[in-house]
Structure 1
Amino acid sequence: MTTALRALLGLALLAGLYLLVGVVVGAAILADVLMAVDFAPNVLREVVALNLAAAALGYALATVSRRRSGEQPGVPVTREQEPLLWQAVEDVARRVGTAPPDEIRLVAEVNAAVSEDTRFLGLKAGRRRMFIGLPLLQTLTMDEMRAVLGHELGHYSRAHTRLGAPVYRGRVALLAAVQSLARHPVLRLPFTWYARLYLWVSRAVSRRQELEADALAVAVGGRRATAGALRRIDDMALAWTLYVHGYLSLAGAGGCRPATVFNGFHALLNDPVRQAEIARLAAEPRESSPYDSHPAQADRLAAIELLPEPSQVPDPRPAQSLLRDPAGAAQAVETSIWTPEALTALRPAPWEHIVATATYARRNAEPLRDLALAGRLVVGASRPYLDAAFEAIARGRQAELTARLTELGWTAADDLLAGVLGRALEAVLIEHGQARWTLSWSGPPRLLFDDGEEVALAGYAAQVAADPSAVPGLRAWLGDLGVRHDYVPVAETDRPASPVGEPAPVPRR
């Protein structure tokens, strides 16, 4: 069966979905009419359930069927702004036998994609857009970039985008229909079976389309460049996930955002430790679903090796050569990442400052504050002195101190007091200029003394928490660091009466 016939079958199944919903709605209307003519109390519950199910289905399909124009992601670039990029795209479009896109947008993703506004189930074409991830232009070679462009433009030349949009909307509609029937298991069952059939058919369409697009990528860039781009994009996607979760998620701490987003990403990508980690992650078996829209990478690479190699002159230049002003393009795309509110409220700052500020806020600020508050409650101090917590330990009242910490929202654990104390002591060092969280692209931030030695207080904190006789030594050590006995880390009024959320549990050692 050809890809087009499979896509048409998917559209037929999509029409069947609306027919199935029509049957449910019609049954609900018929039941209402019969109840109006001859009221039957013994089936009232079933009729009400049928009406609720019909309403849920109608609402779900109406919601997903609405066209969402929305603002497009990224930054549009015109021919005048980036003539070489447009020239490359137009040249590849000619080679794969399609018209170039109407719009090119640079996006902050490790990906490239195309879209096409369509009407009447793909029979009428509209505006075409190509989205090119700036990290690809910054990292791939010219040959690899041409292969990527050939793959994406190949979706146009094979009319994948015409039928792809309605097929995708069908998936969304079916999933919405199944979810809307969560409270109606009997009616949900046929919709679930129907959804599985639709996903199976549409998956076959999508996978075949990807292989067809890969063949055009090889025709434009060659087997080596196509396979290399596929592998490199996969590795970069893993690196981008690490970067977003470990670094970009820190944005907002202390009212700051990174001054440079992509420079940080490439610093992580070029770090030897991270390269080894990414290689390990890439080699791990991936969980796959029978409904995945893309073939497995191994299958795509194997299919690429069987394709004929075109005769062409290799072009190993960096793809960034296609940009007239790479730095300006990066700045524009980075700006598009942030909301207008973030651009106004968050000031640009170096990664070192963001990591130090955010890590302190996430790891140390709350333990320091809560330990002082708990100590005050246990010993009855006039203010939340940190030393009040030390006094509670010195008096052997660790159990009461732990209980107060749980009242403040901490998760109960055998080593809770030791964990909170260790983090609080880290905070004291930071507050008094003795240590600082430092940026590392190889892994989590490290807390270092001024001389570069790593701070390791977990064992010492556990010793103090377990042994009241260790408190005098702790006080003497802190005194040598300039920490006064009446040190108050935070005013009591600064703590909300009803804290929102729960502090992160102290990790078990």
Structure 2
Amino acid sequence: MTTAFRAVLAFSLLGGFYVLVGGFVAAAVALDVLLIVDFHTGLVKFAVVLSLVAVALVRALIMVSRRQDGGQPGVAVTREHEPVLWQTVEDLARRVRTAPPDEIRLVPDVNAAVAEDTRFLRLRATGRRMYIGLPLMQTLTVDEMRAVLGHELGHYSGAHTRLGAPVYRGRVSLIATVQSLHRHPFVQRIFTWYARLYLRVSQAVSRRQELEADAFAVAIGGRLAMAEALRKIHYTAAAWELYSDAYLSMAGTGGYRPAAVFGGFQSLLNDPARQAELAKLAERPEQTSPYDSHPGLAERLAAVERLPEPDLVPDPRSALMLLRDADVAANAVEESMWTPQALAALRPVSWDELVSRGVYAGRNAEALADLAVAGARVVGASRPYLDAAFEAIARGRQAELEERLRELGWTADEGLLARVLGAALEGLLIEHGQARWTLSWSGPARLLYDDGEEVALSGYAAQVAADPAAVAGLRAWLGDLGVRHDYVPAGTEQAEVPAA
């Protein structure tokens, strides 16, 4: 089946979707009119259900049509800002025989993409936009970046962007419609079947377009550059996901954000242990599906290898060389990642400080506060203080203490008390200047004493949680650290403690 035929079929199915919706609405209106003209009791229930289905369908389409795309991501760069990048893109556009974009935006994603604003049933282009991910530029060479940009410009040359926009909107409409019919399972099954058929056809078109665009990339950058770019994109996407989950997720904790987002990402990429870990992730077999918008990496690499090799002069420099000042560009893109409220409220700090404060706030502060509150509720204290929890353990009331912790939102699993107690003891060491969470790009942050020894309190916390007699030793140890008997963790002053 040719790409053109699949594209026509996709548009036909999209038109059929709206016909299907119109059929349900017309049937509902016709049945309502029939009941008004000639009332039949047996048809009332069916008319009500059909009318509710029609309302749900119309509402879903209205909501999709009103959905705003929002502001454009990243930072727009002009020819004056980035003359080399613009000249590169315009030269490549001439090579693939298409018009260059009207706007280039640097974005904080492992991605490069193009979009096209159109009018008159998508037949006339009114504006072109190119997105270039800064994390990609950190990892690709100039050769590889040129191949990627050639791929994206190939979408313009093949008019793929004009097909992509209506196909994407149809996809959104179908999914929203299926979701809106959750109260009408029979009708939902009909639209689910239709949505699957549409997605299989339209995504097959998208996959074929990607292979066509890869041919433009090879003509510009060569087989080796394009193949290596595809591998690096796969690798870098896994690295960015890990970085976002393990490090960027700490932004906002304690009122801080990282001062160097892309600097931190480069540090992670340069770490030997992470490189080995990411290499293993990148080597795992891909799970492919007929609903994927892109072909699998193996299929794309095989297709690239079959293309003719152009005669090129290699340029192995970093793709960041296409920017006038990579640090200035990184700072601008980083600023675009935060809302104006976040920029005003969150203080930029080094990664060392963010990890030190962020892990404490996320792991230790809550354990300290909740253990004090739970202990006070068990022993009937008038205010929350940490030693109340130790007293509850000393009295053998661990089960009650765990119950109070569950009431405060802790997960009811085996070893709950030991886990919370261990985190609270770590927090005491941090608050009294005995230990500090230390950044590691190789793995999770480590809690270290001043002499560099790693803090390991989980075993001791489990011993104390299980043995009331061990509380005396715990109190003596904390006294030596300077922890007062009436120590009240921060944030518990307003906590409610029921009267005994």
Change (3 A) 1:31 1:144: same
* 1:357 aligned partner: 357
Structure 1 counterpart of 2:178? 178
Q: d(CA) in 2 for partners of 1:176 and 1:132?
A: 29
- From the superposition, tell whether residues 461 and 224 of structure 1 become closer, same or farther in structure 2 (CA, over 3 Å): same
Q: After superposition, where does 1:184-195 map in structure 2 within 5 Å? A: 184-195=184-195
Shift of 1:87: 0.5
Q: Which residue of 2 aligns with 1:277?
A: 277
Question: Is 1:113 aligned with 2:113?
Answer: yes
Asked whether 1:454 is paired with 2:477, we answer no
Q: Which amino acid aligns with 1:168?
A: Y
2:239 corresponding residue in structure 1: 239
> 1:168: Cα distance to partner?
1.2
Post-superposition CA distance 1:25-78 (Å, at most 9, x none): 100000000110122222212111111111111111222234745321111111
Counterpart residue type for residue 103 of structure 1:
E
Match of 1:369 in 2: 369
Q: Which amino acid aligns with 2:285?
A: P
Q: Would the alpha carbon gap of residues 56 and 317 (structure 1) be closer, same or farther in structure 2, given more than 3 Å must change?
A: same
Cα deviation, 1:346-403, whole Å, max 9, x if unaligned, reads: 1111111111112111111121112122222223334322222222222222222223
C-alpha separation in 2, matches of 1:112 and 1:434: 47
Distance 2:466 2:40 in 1: 72
Match of 1:309 in 2: 309
Amino acid at match of 1:298: A
- Where does residue 136 of structure 1 map in the other structure? 136
SS of equivalent residue, structure 1 residue 384: coil
Query: How far apart, CA to CA, are the structure 1 residues paired with 2:302 and 2:361?
Result: 48
Matched, 1:415 2:432: no
AA matched with 1:234 = H
* Partner Cα distance (2:72, 2:497) in 1: 43
Q: Secondary structure at the match of 1:80?
A: coil
Does residue 230 in structure 1 map to residue 242 in structure 2? no
**One-letter code of the match for 2:243?**
Y
Alignment of 1:244-393 (within 5 A): 244-393=244-393
Residues 376/62 of structure 1: CA separation in 2 closer, same or farther (3 Å cut): closer
Question: 2:39 & 2:12 partners in 1: Cα distance?
Answer: 39
Instruction: Supply the distance in 1 between the matched residues of 2:476 and 2:496 (Cα, whole angstroms).
Output: 32
Stretches of 4+ moved more than 4 A in 1? none
Tell me the SS of whatever aligns to 2:131.
strand
What amino acid does structure 2 have at the position aligned with 1:108?
Answer: P
C-alpha spacing 1:351/1:496, structure 2 compared with 1 (3 Å): farther
Question: Are the equivalent residues in 1 in contact too, given 2:394–2:471 (CA < 8 A)?
Answer: yes
SS at match of 2:479: helix
Deviation at 1:424, TM superposition (A): 0.9
8 Å contact from structure 1 (residues 384, 491) kept in 2: no
1:63 corresponds to: 63
Q: Percent of aligned positions with the same letter in both sequences? A: 70
Superposed displacement of residue 126, structure 1: 1.7
Moved more, 351-360 or 401-410: 401-410
Task: Kindly provide the amino acid, as one letter, of the partner of residue 287 in structure 1.
Answer: Q
Provide the C-alpha distance between the structure 1 equivalents of 2:495 and 2:356, rounded to a whole number of angstroms: 22
Paired residues of 1:118 and 1:162 also in contact (CA < 8 A): yes
Instruction: Encode CA deviations 1:258-297: one digit per residue, 9 max, x unaligned.
Output: 1111000111111111111111111122333221010000
Between the aligned partners of 1:497 and 1:166, the Cα distance in structure 2 is 59
Rounded Cα–Cα distance in structure 2 between residues aligned with 1:123 and 1:107: 28
Cα deviation code 1:392-415 (max 9, x no counterpart): 222222222223222333233341
**Which amino acid in structure 2 is aligned with residue 183 of structure 1?**
R
**1:138: how far off?**
2.4
Q: How well do the aligned residues superpose, as a CA RMSD in angstroms?
A: 1.6
2:113 match: secondary structure: strand
How far apart in 2 are the matches of 1:283 and 1:476?
Answer: 52
Q: Secondary structure at the match of 1:257?
A: strand
Paired position in structure 2 for 1:123 = 123
Question: 1:291 & 1:73 partners in 2: Cα distance?
Answer: 26
**Equivalent residue number for residue 19 of structure 2:** 19
Moved more, 42-51 or 147-156: 42-51
**C-alpha offsets along residues 400-455 of structure 1, whole Å, 9 cap, x if unaligned?**
22232223332333412111111111111111111111111111111111111111
Q: TM-score, normalised by structure 2?
A: 0.96
Opposite residue 376 of structure 1, the aligned amino acid is A
Structure 2: which amino acid aligns with 1:98?
A: T
- String of CA shifts for 1:55-113, please: whole Å, max 9, x gaps: 11111122223474532111111111111101100111111111101111111111100
How far the C-alpha of 1:149 sits from its partner, in A, is: 0.6
Give the Cα–Cα distance (whole angstroms) in 1 for the partners of residues 153 and 496 of structure 2. 55
Is the contact between residue 384 and residue 490 of structure 1 (CA under 8 Å) also seen in structure 2?
A: no
Equivalence for 1:159:
159
Contact kept, 8 Å, 1:118 with 1:165, in 2: the verdict is no
Taking structure 1 as the reference length, the TM-score comes to: 0.95
Q: How many Å separate the matches in 2 of 1:335 and 1:28?
A: 51
Q: CA deviation at 1:3?
A: 2.1
The verdict on how the C-alpha distance between 1:413 and 1:71 changes in structure 2, with shifts beyond 3 A counting, is closer
Q: 1-side partners of 2:51 and 2:415: how far apart?
A: 55
Contact 2:25–2:54 (CA under 8 A) maintained in structure 1:
yes
Amino acid at match of 1:274: R
CA distance in 1, matches of 2:199, 2:50: 26
Paired positions, count: 498
Structure 1: distance between partners of 2:271 and 2:418: 34
Question: Could you tell me how far apart the structure 1 residues matched to 2:303 and 2:233 are?
Answer: 18
Is 1:108–1:334's contact at 8 Å kept on the other side of the alignment?
yes
Gaps of 5+ in 2: none
C-alpha separation in 1, matches of 2:497 and 2:466: 30
- Which segment is superposed worse, 20-29 or 43-52? 43-52
2: CA distance between counterparts of 1:240 and 1:495? 39
1:462 is paired with a residue whose SS is helix
Q: What is the Cα deviation at residue 304 of structure 1?
A: 0.4
Q: Is the 8 A contact 2:384 2:497 kept in 1?
A: no
* Deviates further, 59-68 or 442-451: 59-68
1:248 partner letter:
L
CA distance in 1, matches of 2:491, 2:55: 54
CA distance in 1, matches of 2:444, 2:69: 40
Change (3 A) 1:491 1:161: closer
Query: Equivalent residue for 1:35?
Result: 35
Counterpart code for 2:113: A
- Label 1:385 to 1:333 Cα distance change in 2 as closer, same or farther (>3 A): same
